[in-house]
C-alpha cells in the first residue's frame, strides 16, 4: 500500500520533472549501448557490427523511452496539462470570444453565487452553538378552544410561547431531552430597553434567559462568565452578559468592562460576561444586546409590556399567560415518536397541575417539536420563499448564459473544423479531442466562476442592505466554504454543459464529409437556432415573472390604504422612560396634542398607541354584549387620541369619532371599523352596543360603540384591513399607552416640522425625546422594502436574460449571413430588392423569438403557480404583463436582427460571387 502511494506520488511529481529526466535517461541508454558495443568490440567484432549487435541486444530505443516515459509520469495528468496549455493558447488567440464568454458566465455564475450566499446565510446556515442539530423548539397546534383557565393571553406571533410552569415541568430534564432552556425577549425590537452606560443613555434590545441557557447551548463567553442557575434565584445580584457587538459599541471593547455597572430601564446591573462574536441568541430576527436572568424584576418587562394578570400576578405565577420560548436539547438516537409521546405527557402534567380535573384532556393543545437547528425562524420563514423564487430565476439566467456560450462555441468549432479534421485524419482519438474541447469550455466556466465569485463578493454588502433591512448584523453573506463549493460545482457543471454538445458535434465531422463540400445549411446551424429558441423561452419565463412582480409592487404601493398617507409625520414618545409617573402620562399626551396643534404648518395632529403599518399590532379575543359567540373571536385594537380618524383621513361612516371629552373624562367608548362591525354584529346596528376585550363579556371593562369608520390597513400591506376597535387613550390602562405614536398632518413637507415640534416637546418636558421620527410614506416604503428588492432583482434577471438573448440572436444571425454571403449575392443579382433581403434576415430573428414566446408563455404560466402566493392584485393571465413580455422580446429580436440584416442587404453581388 505504502509502496503504491509512494509510486503514485513520484509519478505526480514526475509530471513536472519529466523534461529534466528525459535527457538523463537518454544519456543512460546511450551509455548502456556504448558498454554493449565495447564488449562486442572486445570479442573481436568490427565496429559497425558491434554497434548493430549492441542496438539489437538493447532493443527498440524509442519503445524503451516511451515505456519509460509512461511509467515516469501519469499520462492522463500530462494530457490534462497539455490540454489546458492548448486551451489557454486558443483562448488567448481569440480574446473577443473569450471576453464575451467569460463575461456571460461571470454574470450568470456571479448572480447565482450572490443569491446563493444570501440563501446560505438566511436559510441554510446553522446556529453557531454546540450540536445545533439536537436543538428543538417547543410549539403547539393552535386550537381556539383551549380553555381560558389554561390559556388566557398569549404573546408572540407564532404558536411557540408557553406559560412559565411548562418550563418548570421540563427543567429537571426528561428521558428524551437532556436539557430544556427558556428565553423571553425584552421587547418587540432592538430599541425597547433604555440603558445607561457610563452616563450615556442608549437604547438596546435584550433577552431574559434561564440560568442554563449558555451551558446548554454550549456557548462560552470570551470574557467573564455566563449566566448561571444561581442568578435565577430571587435576591441574587442583577447580572448581565452583553453581546460582542454591544461590548465593542458601548463598552469600548475593553476587558475592564467586566464588573462595570450599567442600568437597564433604571435598574442597576453588573456586566459579568461578553458573548462570543457571531452569537446572536436563538432568534436571528432579534439579536439581543444583553442577556439577563429570567426572573421577576421590577421595571423589567418581558416582551416590552407590563400586563399583570388577574390580582396583579407576575407572569411567572400567572398560569394563563403564555409568554416563554422553550428550546430543548434531544438526547441522541431516540426515535421522534417516543420523544413526542414522552414530552406530551409531561406537557399535559405541567399545564394541568394545580387546576384539578376541571380541564378535559381533549381540549389541551398538542405539543410538537420543530428543529431549532437554525433558530427561531421568523425572519427565515419570511425570506425563504422569495429567496427560493429568486434562486430559480437566477439559475434560469445561468441556463440562458450557458446556451449562449454554447452557441458561441458552436460557431467557433465551425471555424476549427479543418484543424479538427486534420487531426482526426492524422489519427487523433475522438475521446482525446472531446476531452480537449471540454477542457476549453471548463476553463472558460472556471474563469467565469472566479469572476462571478469576485462579483458576488463585491456585491455582498449591497445584498445585505437589500435583504437584511436594518438588521445588517445578522446576515453574514461573506462567501464561506459552502459558497465556494457551490461556485466550484456550478462552474464545472456549466463548463461540461456548454462544452459537451459542441465538442461531440465538432468531432463528428468525419462521419459526414459531404457536409464540408456544400456550404449551406448544416445541422450545426440548426442546433444553434435551437439553442437561441431555448434562450428566448427562458427569457420569456423570467420576463413574465418579473412583470408580475413589478405589477404586484405597483398594486401594493398604489392601493387604497383606507387613509391618506401623504404629508404625515410620525414620531413616538415614551413618557415613562423619561421618568414621568404613570398618573401624569395622560396629561403629557393632552398637552403635547394641544401645543402641536397650534404650531405653524400643522393642519391637525393626533396620537395612537400603534402606528398604522409599522409591523406591530395589538389585539386579542373580543366579546360583545350579545349572545356569546361559539368560539373566541379575535379583533385588533388600537388606542387613539381625539381626532385620530380625521387626522389620518379615515372616513367616519356612522356616528362619530373619538373627541376630547372621551379622553379627558374619560368615557369608555369605542369606534369600530366596518370589518369589525360586520364580523361581530352582522346586519345589526353596532351603535350603542358594547364590546369587551375579556372573554366572556365583562360589563365592567366594556366599551360602548359610538361610531363606525372605514377600513384602514393596519398590520400589513398585503393583508385585508383586520376588524379593529379604536379606544380613547384616557379610558384604557396605563400599560397600553406607555409609549404612543404621534401623527401630524402637515400643510407642506412633513419633515420640515421636526424642529418646531422638537422645541414644543422640550418645552413640555426636557427629558422627553422624540423617537423614531419618520413620515408615514417612508414607513410604507420600509414595509415594502422586501417587495421592492424582490421585484427589482427579478427585473434585473429578466433584463440580463434579455441581453443574453439579444447577443445569442445577433451571433447566430450574423454567422448565418456570413455563411450565406454567396447565396444572398446571387439573390440580389437576380433582382431581389434590398428590402426583401432585409426582411428575410429580420424575419428569421422574429421567427426564432416567436418560437421562444410560443414555448415560453405556457411554461411561464405553468411555473406561475409556484409564485402565485407572492402576487397581489394581479392574476397569472394578466394581459398587460403578457403583452409587455411578448412586445419586449420581439422588439429585442428586431433590434438584434437588424444589424446582420442590414449587413445582408448591403452585400455587393459582384464581390460575393467573385469570392466564390
Give me the residues that bind another protein (CB under 8 A), please: 3-4, 6-7, 10-11, 14, 24-25, 27-29, 31-32, 34-36, 38, 57-61, 63-64, 67-68, 70-72
Q: Are 663 and 706 in contact (CB under 8 A)?
A: no
Beta-carbon contacts of 129 under 8 Å, excluding residues fewer than 6 positions away, are 135, 217, 218, 219, 279
Q: Which three cell numbers stand for residue 351?
A: 399545564
For the bound state, the minimum distance from the C-beta of residue 64 to another protein, rounded and expressed in Å, comes to 3
Residue 67 or 781 with smaller CB distance to another protein: 67
Residue 34 or 144 with smaller CB distance to another protein: 34
Q: Which three cell numbers stand for residue 783?
A: 414595509
Q: What is the DSSP letter of 231?
A: G
For the bound state, the minimum distance from the C-beta of residue 28 to another protein, rounded and expressed in Å, comes to 5
For the bound state, the minimum distance from the C-beta of residue 11 to another protein, rounded and expressed in Å, comes to 7
Could you tell me which of 405, 398, 340 has the C-alpha nearest to residue 367? 340
Q: Which three cell numbers stand for residue 299?
A: 421595571
For the bound state, the minimum distance from the C-beta of residue 418 to another protein, rounded and expressed in Å, comes to 37
Would you give the distance in Å from CA 392 to the centre of its chain?
13
For the bound state, the minimum distance from the C-beta of residue 30 to another protein, rounded and expressed in Å, comes to 10
**Partners of 635 in the β-ladder:** 620
For the bound state, the minimum distance from the C-beta of residue 81 to another protein, rounded and expressed in Å, comes to 19
Residue 36 or 177 with smaller CB distance to another protein: 36
For the bound state, the minimum distance from the C-beta of residue 47 to another protein, rounded and expressed in Å, comes to 16
For the bound state, the minimum distance from the C-beta of residue 32 to another protein, rounded and expressed in Å, comes to 5
Q: For the chain, how big is the Rg over CA atoms in Å?
A: 38
Dist CA 279 CA 489 (whole Å): 30
Dist CA 369 CA 367 (whole Å): 7
Residue 57 or 833 with smaller CB distance to another protein: 57
For the bound state, the minimum distance from the C-beta of residue 61 to another protein, rounded and expressed in Å, comes to 7
Q: What is the DSSP string of 734-790?
A: GGGGSSEEEEEEESS-GGGGHHHHHHHHHHH-TT---EEEEEHHHHHHHHTHHHHHH
Residue 63 or 431 with smaller CB distance to another protein: 63
For the bound state, the minimum distance from the C-beta of residue 44 to another protein, rounded and expressed in Å, comes to 17
Q: For residue 835, how many other CB atoms are within 10 A of its CB?
A: 9
Phi-psi region of 173 (alpha: psi -120 to 50; beta: other; left: phi over 0): left
Would you give the distance in Å from CA 440 to the centre of its chain?
34
Could you tell me which of 418, 413, 414 has the C-alpha nearest to residue 436? 413
Q: Is the backbone peptide bond immediately before 666 cis, with ω within 30 degrees of 0?
A: yes
Residue 3 or 877 with smaller CB distance to another protein: 3
Residue 71 or 472 with smaller CB distance to another protein: 71
Residue 38 or 157 with smaller CB distance to another protein: 38
Residue 36 or 401 with smaller CB distance to another protein: 36
Q: What is the DSSP string of 454-489?
A: HHHHHHHHHHHHHHHTT-GGG---S--HHHHHHHHH
Beta-carbon contacts of 881 under 8 Å, excluding residues fewer than 6 positions away, are 544, 547, 548, 551, 874
Say if strands 206-209 and 177-185 run parallel, antiparallel, or are unpaired.
antiparallel
Residue 67 or 701 with smaller CB distance to another protein: 67
For the bound state, the minimum distance from the C-beta of residue 26 to another protein, rounded and expressed in Å, comes to 11
Q: Which three cell numbers stand for residue 511?
A: 462521419
Q: Are 892 and 802 in contact (CB under 8 A)?
A: yes
Q: Which three cell numbers stand for residue 125?
A: 446556515
Residue 64 or 770 with smaller CB distance to another protein: 64
Residue 73 or 856 with smaller CB distance to another protein: 73
Residue 10 or 752 with smaller CB distance to another protein: 10
Residue 17 or 781 with smaller CB distance to another protein: 17
For the bound state, the minimum distance from the C-beta of residue 370 to another protein, rounded and expressed in Å, comes to 57
For the bound state, the minimum distance from the C-beta of residue 45 to another protein, rounded and expressed in Å, comes to 17
DSSP H helices in 559-673: 582-597, 644-648, 660-664
For the bound state, the minimum distance from the C-beta of residue 73 to another protein, rounded and expressed in Å, comes to 10
Sign for the CA dihedral angle at 696, 698, 702, 706 comes to: positive
Residue 64 or 861 with smaller CB distance to another protein: 64
Dist CA 644 CA 501 (whole Å): 68
Dist CA 76 CA 214 (whole Å): 54
Sign for the CA dihedral angle at 724, 728, 731, 733 comes to: positive
Q: Which three cell numbers stand for residue 526?
A: 440548426
For the bound state, the minimum distance from the C-beta of residue 51 to another protein, rounded and expressed in Å, comes to 14
Amino acid at each position: 500500500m505504502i509502496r503504491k502511494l509512494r509510486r503514485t506520488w513520484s509519478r505526480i511529481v514526475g509530471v513536472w520533472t519529466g523534461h529534466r529526466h528525459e535527457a538523463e535517461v537518454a544519456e543512460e541508454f546511450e551509455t548502456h549501448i556504448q558498454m554493449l558495443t565495447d564488449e562486442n568490440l572486445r570479442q573481436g567484432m568490427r565496429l559497425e557490427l558491434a554497434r548493430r549487435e549492441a542496438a539489437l541486444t538493447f532493443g527498440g530505443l524509442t519503445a524503451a523511452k516511451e515505456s519509460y516515459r509512461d511509467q515516469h509520469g501519469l499520462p492522463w495528468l500530462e494530457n490534462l496539462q497539455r490540454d489546458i496549455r492548448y486551451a489557454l493558447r486558443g483562448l488567448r488567440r481569440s480574446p473577443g470570444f473569450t471576453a464575451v464568454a467569460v463575461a456571460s458566465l461571470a454574470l450568470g455564475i456571479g448572480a447565482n453565487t450572490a443569491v446563493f450566499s444570501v440563501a446560505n446565510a438566511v436559510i441554510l446556515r446553522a446556529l453557531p452553538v454546540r450540536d445545533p442539530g439536537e436543538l428543538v423548539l417547543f410549539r403547539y397546534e393552535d386550537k381556539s378552544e383551549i380553555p381560558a383557565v389554561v390559556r388566557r393571553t398569549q404573546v408572540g406571533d407564532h404558536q411557540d410561547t408557553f406559560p412559565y410552569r411548562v418550563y418548570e415541568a421540563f427543567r429537571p430534564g426528561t428521558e428524551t431531552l437532556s436539557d430544556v432552556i427558556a428565553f423571553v425577549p425584552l421587547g418587540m425590537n432592538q430599541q425597547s430597553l433604555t440603558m445607561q452606560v457610563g452616563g450615556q443613555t442608549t437604547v438596546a434590545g435584550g433577552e431574559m434567559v434561564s440560568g442554563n441557557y449558555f451551558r446548554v447551548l454550549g456557548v462560552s463567553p470570551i470574557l467573564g462568565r455566563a449566566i448561571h442557575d444561581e442568578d435565577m434565584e430571587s435576591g441574587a445580584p442583577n447580572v448581565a452578559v452583553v453581546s460582542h457587538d454591544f461590548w465593542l459599541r458601548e463598552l469600548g471593547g475593553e476587558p475592564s468592562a467586566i464588573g462595570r455597572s450599567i442600568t437597564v430601564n433604571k435598574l442597576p446591573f453588573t456586566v459579568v460576561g461578553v458573548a462570543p462574536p457571531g452569537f446572536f441568541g436563538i432568534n436571528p430576527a432579534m439579536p439581543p444586546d444583553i442577556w439577563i436572568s429570567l426572573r421577576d424584576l421590577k421595571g423589567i418587562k418581558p416582551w416590552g409590556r407590563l400586563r399583570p394578570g388577574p390580582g396583579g400576578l407576575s407572569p411567572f405565577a400567572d398560569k394563563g399567560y403564555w409568554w416563554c420560548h422553550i428550546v430543548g436539547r434531544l438526547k441522541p438516537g431516540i426515535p421522534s415518536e417516543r420523544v413526542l409521546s414522552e414530552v406530551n405527557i409531561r406537557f399535559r402534567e405541567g399545564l394541568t397541575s394545580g387546576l384539578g380535573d376541571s380541564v378535559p384532556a381533549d381540549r389541551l393543545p398538542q405539543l410538537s417539536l420543530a428543529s431549532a437547528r437554525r433558530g427561531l425562524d421568523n425572519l427565515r420563514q419570511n425570506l425563504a420563499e422569495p429567496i427560493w423564487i429568486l434562486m430559480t430565476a437566477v439559475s434560469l439566467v445561468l441556463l440562458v448564459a450557458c446556451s449562449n456560450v454554447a452557441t458561441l462555441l458552436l460557431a467557433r468549432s465551425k471555424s476549427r473544423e479543418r484543424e479538427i479534421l486534420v487531426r482526426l485524419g492524422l489519427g487523433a482519438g475522438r475521446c482525446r479531442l472531446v476531452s480537449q474541447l471540454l477542457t476549453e469550455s471548463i476553463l472558460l466556466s472556471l474563469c467565469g466562476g472566479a469572476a462571478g465569485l469576485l462579483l458576488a463578493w463585491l456585491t455582498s454588502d449591497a445584498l445585505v442592505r437589500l435583504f437584511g433591512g436594518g438588521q445588517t448584523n445578522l446576515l453574514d453573506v461573506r462567501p464561506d466554504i459552502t459558497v465556494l463549493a457551490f461556485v466550484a460545482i456550478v462552474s464545472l457543471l456549466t463548463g461540461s454543459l456548454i462544452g459537451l454538445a459542441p465538442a461531440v458535434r465538432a468531432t463528428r465531422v468525419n462521419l459526414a464529409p459531404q457536409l464540408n463540400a456544400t456550404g449551406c445549411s448544416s445541422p450545426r446551424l440548426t442546433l444553434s437556432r435551437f439553442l437561441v429558441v431555448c434562450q428566448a423561452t427562458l427569457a420569456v419565463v423570467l420576463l413574465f415573472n418579473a412583470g408580475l412582480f413589478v405589477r404586484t409592487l405597483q398594486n401594493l404601493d398604489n392601493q387604497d390604504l383606507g387613509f391618506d398617507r401623504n404629508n404625515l409625520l410620525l414620531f413616538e414618545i415614551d413618557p415613562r422612560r423619561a421618568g414621568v409617573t404613570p398618573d401624569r402620562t395622560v396629561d403629557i399626551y393632552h398637552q403635547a396634542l394641544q401645543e402641536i396643534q397650534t404650531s405653524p404648518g400643522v393642519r391637525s395632529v393626533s396620537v395612537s398607541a400603534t402606528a398604522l403599518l409599522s409591523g406591530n399590532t395589538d389585539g386579542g379575543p373580543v366579546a360583545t354584549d350579545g349572545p356569546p359567540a361559539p368560539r373566541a373571536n379575535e379583533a385588533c385594537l388600537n388606542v387613539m387620541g381625539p381626532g385620530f380618524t380625521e387626522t389620518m383621513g379615515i372616513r367616519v361612516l356612522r356616528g362619530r369619532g373619538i373627541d376630547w371629552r372621551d379622553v379627558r373624562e374619560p368615557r369608555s367608548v369605542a369606534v369600530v371599523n366596518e370589518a369589525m362591525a360586520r364580523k361581530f354584529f352582522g346586519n345589526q346596528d353596532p351603535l350603542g352596543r358594547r364590546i369587551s376585550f375579556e372573554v366572556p363579556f365583562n360589563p365592567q371593562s366594556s366599551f360602548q360603540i359610538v361610531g363606525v369608520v372605514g377600513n384602514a390597513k393596519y398590520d400589513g400591506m398585503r393583508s385585508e384591513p383586520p376588524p379593529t376597535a379604536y379606544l380613547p387613550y384616557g379610558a384604557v390602562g396605563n400599560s397600553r399607552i406607555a409609549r404612543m405614536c404621534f401623527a401630524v398632518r402637515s400643510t407642506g413637507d412633513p419633515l420640515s416640522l421636526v424642529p418646531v415640534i422638537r422645541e414644543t416637546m422640550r418645552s413640555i418636558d426636557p427629558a422627553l425625546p422624540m423617537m423614531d421620527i419618520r413620515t408615514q410614506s417612508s414607513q410604507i416604503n420600509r414595509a415594502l422594502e422586501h417587495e421592492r428588492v424582490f421585484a427589482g432583482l427579478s427585473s434585473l434577471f429578466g433584463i440580463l436574460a434579455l441581453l443574453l438573448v439579444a447577443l445569442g440572436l445577433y451571433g447566430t444571425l450574423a454567422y448565418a449571413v456570413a455563411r450565406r454571403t454567396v447565396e444572398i449575392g446571387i439573390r440580389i443579382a437576380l433582382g431581389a430588392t434590398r428590402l426583401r433581403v432585409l426582411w428575410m434576415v429580420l424575419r428569421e430573428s422574429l421567427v426564432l423569438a416567436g418560437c421562444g414566446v410560443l414555448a415560453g408563455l405556457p411554461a411561464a404560466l405553468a411555473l406561475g403557480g409556484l409564485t402565485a402566493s407572492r402576487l397581489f392584485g394581479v392574476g397569472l393571465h394578466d394581459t398587460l404583463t403578457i403583452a409587455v413580455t411578448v412586445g419586449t422580446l420581439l422588439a429585442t429580436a428586431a433590434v438584434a436582427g437588424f444589424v446582420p440584416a442590414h449587413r445582408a442587404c448591403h452585400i455587393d453581388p459582384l464581390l460575393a460571387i467573385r469570392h466564390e
